[in-house]
Structures are given as structure tokens and as C-alpha cells.
């Protein structure tokens, strides 16, 4: 499949619906390989941040930990 899109002055581009459906995610990763730009779907935000994490922790656990800390500090 081949399609063309225009980049706006703000650096935005509309991804055609057929391509978005193939991606299956609303988060994408850009990779430059030689003279090609590769766009890959990121199935979860955690996946895109994996190099910064030592182990997987569910978002809900992080949110609850931070929330409990905020509550504790504001007592």
C-alpha cells in the first residue's frame, strides 16, 4: 500500500484511515534507518519506555503508589 500525505507548517500529518487501522494503536514510534523513516505501532506506552525501566510495573500500581504518597504528605 502506498499513500501520500502533506506535512503542515506545525510538523503535523494526517495518517490515512486505512493506515491507522493497520497500525492498531494510536501511539507510534518513528525510526530512521538509512534513508527510510519507519513508523511502527506501540501497543502500550510502557513498551515505548522500556529502555528506562528495570522491570514491568502496571500503570495502576504506579498511580496508586503516587496517590498514596500525595495523600500521606498532605495529612
- Rounded to an integer, the average pLDDT of 23-29 is 85
Asked if residue 28 and residue 62 are part of one domain, the reply reads no
Res 35 pLDDT > 90: yes
Query: Bridge-partner residues for 29, per DSSP?
Result: 40
Q: For cell 506545525, name the residue.
A: 10
Domain boundaries, position 24? 1-43
Task: Give pLDDT, residue 14.
Answer: 92
Say yes or no: 4 and 34 in one domain: yes
Q: Does residue 34 sit in the same domain as residue 11? A: yes
The verdict on 7 and 28 lying in the same domain is: yes
Q: For residues 35 and 69, state if they share a domain.
A: no
Q: What is the CATH number of the domain that holds 19?
A: 2.10.260
CA distance 30 to 40: 7
Report field, pTM of the whole predicted structure over 0.75: no
Considering the domain architecture, whether residues 32 and 62 belong to the same structural domain is answered as: no
Amino acid at each position: 500500500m502506498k499513500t501520500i500525505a502533506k506535512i503542515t507548517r506545525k510538523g503535523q500529518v494526517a495518517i490515512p484511515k486505512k493506515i491507522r487501522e493497520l497500525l492498531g494503536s494510536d501511539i507510534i514510534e518513528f525510526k530512521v534507518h538509512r534513508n527510510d523513516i519507519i513508523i511502527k505501532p506501540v501497543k502500550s506506552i510502557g513498551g515505548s519506555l522500556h529502555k528506562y525501566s528495570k522491570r514491568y510495573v502496571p500503570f495502576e500500581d504506579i498511580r496508586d503508589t503516587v496517590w498514596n504518597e500525595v495523600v500521606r504528605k498532605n495529612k
